[in-house]
């Protein structure tokens, strides 16, 4: 629902002066209390203002955030994940660097026998080059962050959970995985990738009304 210019003004006054009585709001606007009654009850109904008896009106911070969170909880990783760039653990650091440039990604997922074994980031590659290392002969398996320390996500989880994991673990990218049991052993198959860029794209699409309701 759109709010009118006057309702917008009321919100600004309450924000600045809360708690504030309806008389005072009316005075700010040079109006009578009765002229404001409808606007105040509408804004309260919309959850933008809260009236406390004998105290006055309060502005309610970001009431849309509940909706936004619900929206983010509704968007599944599967629908927005991108293609993962996957390298074998035996591939060299040089191969890793070349792939990062060619595929234009900041994170490589590393597999052993086709299953998730580790992650290599830009800084992992930079760090590895500081020492006296033969980048053409040293495998990615030597420098990767390895299982079981890899943070991952399932396709049916929400983008909200994905974003929370990226922030909490201070990482740029998450492998989207499916668990399989092979020879009695749990293995992780890589299905996709969620990166900070994915989240930023969704953010813009949401703002442009291309996603959600
Ligand atoms: P950069 O190192 O280029 O800043 P990141 O912030 O993604 O990129 O990586 C920081 C460290 O976390 C690196 O050592 C990397 O191997 C590791 N890392 C990256 N992604 C993950 C992940 N999904 N799970 C566990 N560790 C990760």
Pocket test for ligand 1, best of 116, 121, 140, 169 (most atoms within 8 A of CB): 121
Minimum-distance ligand 1 atom for the alpha carbon of 170 = 6
- Does ligand 1 lie within 6 Å of residue 117's CB atom? no
> What percent of the chain clears pLDDT 90, i.e. is strictly above it?
79
Domains in the chain: boundaries: 5-63, 72-203
- Does ligand 1 lie within 6 Å of residue 66's CB atom? no
- Does ligand 1 lie within 6 Å of residue 40's CB atom? no
- Fill in the DSSP letter of residue 76: B
Closest to 112 measured CA to CA, from 182, 192, 194? 182
- Does ligand 1 lie within 6 Å of residue 7's CB atom? no
CATH code of the domain made up of 72-203: 3.10.580.10
The CATH-assigned architecture of domain 5-63 is: Orthogonal Bundle (1.10)
Is the pLDDT score of 210 beyond 90?
A: no
Chain segment 89-138, per-residue pLDDT in tens: 999 999 999 999 999 999 999 999 999 999 999 999 999 999 889 999 99
Q: What is the DSSP string of 11-50?
A: HHHHHHH-SB-HHHHHHHHT--HHHHHHHHHHHHHTTSEE
| Residues in CB range of 198: below 8 A, 6 or more apart | 80, 81, 82, 162
0.85 exceeded by pTM = no
Which whole number is the average pLDDT over 47-57? 90
> What percent of the chain clears pLDDT 70, i.e. is strictly above it?
94
């Amino acid at each position: 629902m759109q709010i009118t210019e006057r309702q917008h003004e009321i919100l600004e006054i309450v924000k600045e002066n809360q708690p504030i009585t309806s008389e005072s709001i009316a005075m700010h606007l040079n109006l009578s209390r009765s002229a404001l009654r409808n606007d105040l009850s509408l804004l309260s109904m919309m959850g933008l203002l809260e009236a406390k008896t004998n105290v006055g009106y309060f502005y309610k911070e970001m009431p849309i955030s509940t909706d936004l969170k619900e929206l983010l909880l509704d968007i599944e990783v599967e629908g927005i994940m991108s293609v993962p760039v996957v390298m074998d653990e035996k591939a060299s650091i040089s191969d890793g660097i070349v792939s990062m440039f060619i595929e234009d990604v900041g994170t490589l997922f590393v597999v052993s026998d086709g299953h998730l074994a580790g992650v290599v980031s830009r800084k992992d590659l930079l760090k590895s080059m500081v020492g006296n290392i033969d980048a053409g002969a040293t495998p990615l398996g030597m420098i990767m962050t390895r299982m079981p320390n890899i943070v991952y996500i399932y396709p049916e989880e929400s983008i909200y959970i994905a974003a929370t994991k990226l922030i909490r673990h201070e990482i740029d990218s998450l492998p989207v995985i499916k668990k399989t049991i092979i020879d009695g052993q749990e293995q992780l198959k890589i299905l996709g990738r969620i990166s900070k860029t994915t989240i930023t794209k969704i953010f813009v699409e949401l703002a442009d009304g291309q996603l959600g309701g």
